[in-house]
Chains A and B, each alone.
Chain A
Amino acid sequence: MDRLGDDIKAIKLYVAGQGAREAAAAAAKDLETTAPLVPGLFPPGSDSKALPGKSAAKPEIWDNPDDFQQLEQALTTGAADLRKTVDAGDVATIRDSMRSLAKNACGACHENYRGRKDGD
């Protein structure tokens, strides 16, 4: 997840006119390869209640497996789309693509399934 964050940061900087095109392209590529690995990150028993201080994953993940898988899928699709727009290079299109990935995948999943590391 930290890697997703770092990648998004690089793309965000580029869109804001403060980062290099090459860094954004590398980040988008990394995001596209990392996204499909997310489904392996959250095995049952890795939630914040089971691993206080280590995990911020909410137990609700395993109550709604279909919903969670859809969000993982949205991440993979959105990341692939973002990589294409970064390669194409139009800043406004990149911004739209990043925005829709952030809302439909990152934000939508964090809204329901990410809590606090201290078990809150």
Chain B
Amino acid sequence: MIATATPARDGAVLFAAAGCANCHTDRPHHGAPLAGGRALVTVFGTFFTPNISPDPDFGIGRWSDGDFIRALRRGISPAGRDYYPSFPYPAFTEMSDDDILAIKRYIFSVPAQRQPDREHELRFPYRIRAGIKVWKILYLREGTLDADPDESKEWNRGAYLVRAVVHCGECHTPRDWLGGIETARRFAGANAAVDGMKAPDITPDPRALGRWSVDDLASYLDDGLTPSGDSAGGAMAEVIRGTSALSAGDRRAIAVYMKAQTPIPPTLSHEVAKGD
């Protein structure tokens, strides 16, 4: 494995765009960076994110490059435990090894935090970790994303950022009762996606992003302003903190890819995009 390609600085950008800190820093309670403990409230119960700072005892300071790649690509801990997909490895699996390791280098450059992890509080039967094995067989498609030679370079870059890095679909796609993404309705919006907040339809349907131009979407991912002058809230504001760290070209690539999706009418209650 070549571990020199991307400097830690680029790792910081990827790390921001992938939203690692949004989940692994308990911002609502002014928690220390990457010390974990943020509560993720889902229909399956409450997850408390682990400490991923480089502390050797409480964080991931002892992890090898291989350990880190295995966790992000296959959802398996160094001790062989399966991770819950509330850790979005079903998306991160599509990242390149170089990018995954750039993120690791960035994480290992920030201060270690000595904060112990907190147990998840999950409902039965989700409490049983053994169930994740079955879940993985049903839903996890391991492996990096192949470029589509029929599409432009920009589209392919957008696909990579949307699917593997920023994982837009993890929030904006409805899930079935097992927490699997309904691939046929990718980006059609989800109720109670994060902290009970709805993530609206972001396909190019006329009632969703149909009336947003590529520029509208690219600038929204920078400043959070919708074409109607509204400003993004909740989890999307955190996502935008990350996408605004990307280059303007990367934000445009995301917009180009999103505008090329199949339109799906919004199904959520009163969830119609505000673009006019």
Residues of A within 8 A of B (CB): 4-10, 12, 16, 60, 98-99, 102-103, 106-108, 110-112, 114-116, 120
The residue from A9, A114, A116 contacting B229, defined by CB atoms under 8 A apart: A9
A114 near B223 (CB under 8 angstroms)? no
Instruction: Please give 14 more A-B residue pairs, beta carbons under 8 A apart, in addition to A16-B215, A116-B197.
Output: A6-B229, A7-B229, A98-B225, A99-B222, A102-B223, A106-B231, A107-B231, A107-B232, A111-B237, A112-B28, A115-B233, A115-B234, A120-B192, A120-B197
B235, chain A: closest CB distance, angstroms: 8
User: Could you say which residues of chain A place their CB within 8 Å of the CB of B233?
Assistant: 107, 110-111, 114-115
B82 CB-CB contact with A under 8 Å: no
Chain B residues near A16 (CB, 8 Å)? Answer: 215
Q: How many residues of B contact A (CB 8 A)?
A: 23
A5-B234 contact in complex given A103-B223, A103-B244, A107-B223, C-beta closer than 8 Å: no
CB of B225 within 8 A of CB of A110, answer: no
B240 within 8 A of A: yes
Contact A114-B234, Cβ < 8 Å, known A103-B244, A120-B196: yes
Q: Flag if B229 contacts A5 (CB, 8 Å).
A: yes
Residue from A9, A99, A110, A120 in contact with B227 in the complex, judged by beta carbons closer than 8 Å: A9
Q: Using known A-B contacts A102-B224, A103-B224, determine if residue A115 contacts B197 with beta carbons closer than 8 Å.
A: yes
Does B238 contact A8, Cβ atoms closer than 8 Å? no
Report the bound CA distance from A60 to B215 in whole Å: 34
Q: What would be 22 A-B contacts, judged by CB atoms less than 8 Å apart?
A: A4-B229, A5-B231, A8-B225, A12-B229, A16-B215, A98-B225, A102-B223, A102-B231, A103-B244, A106-B224, A106-B225, A107-B231, A107-B232, A107-B237, A108-B237, A111-B233, A111-B234, A112-B28, A114-B233, A114-B234, A116-B198, A120-B192
How near does chain B come to A2, taking the closest CB pair, in angstroms? 9
Interface assignment of B230: CB less than 8 Å from any CB of chain A: yes
Cα A108 to Cα B224 in complex, Å, equals 10
Which of B's residues lie within 8 Å of A, judged by CB? 28, 192, 196-198, 215, 222-225, 227-234, 237-238, 240-241, 244
Q: How far is the CA of A6 from the CA of B225 in the complex (A)?
A: 11
Query: Could you tell me the distance between the alpha carbons of A109 and B228 in the complex, rounded to whole angstroms?
Result: 18
> Which residue of chain A has the shortest Cβ distance to B27 in the bound complex?
A112
Q: Are B225 and A12 in contact (CB under 8 A)?
A: yes
Give the chain A neighbours of B225 by CB distance below 8 A.
Answer: 8, 12, 98, 102, 106
Minimum CB distance partner of B192 in chain A: A120
Looking at the complex, which one of B196, B224, B228, B229 makes contact with A107 (CB distance below 8 Å)? B224
In the bound complex, CA of A16 to CA of B198 (Å) = 29
- Bound Cα distance A108, B236 (Å): 11
Question: Which residue of B222, B227, B228, B234 has the most chain A CB atoms within 10 A of its CB atom?
Answer: B234
Q: A99-B223, A103-B244, A120-B192 are in contact. Are A110 and B28 (CB under 8 A)?
A: no
Q: How far is the CA of A62 from the CA of B175 in the complex (A)?
A: 34
Residues of chain B contacted by A12 (CB below 8 angstroms):
225, 227, 229
Contact A110 B223 (CB under 8 A): no
Question: In the complex, what residue of chain B is closest to A117 when comparing beta carbons?
Answer: B270
Residue of B at shortest CB range from A107? B224
Residues of B within 8 A of A103 (CB): 223-224, 240, 244
Contact of A120 among B198, B232, B237 (CB under 8 A): B198
- In this complex, what residue of A is CB-closest to B229? A9
Residues of chain B lying within 8 A (CB to CB) of residue A106: 224-225, 231
Q: Which of B28, B228, B237 contacts A9 (CB 8 A)?
A: B228
- CB contacts (< 8 Å) of A98 on chain B: these are 223, 225
Cβ–Cβ < 8 Å partners of A8 in chain B: 225, 229, 231
What's the minimum C-beta distance from B114 to chain A, rounded to whole angstroms?
Answer: 26
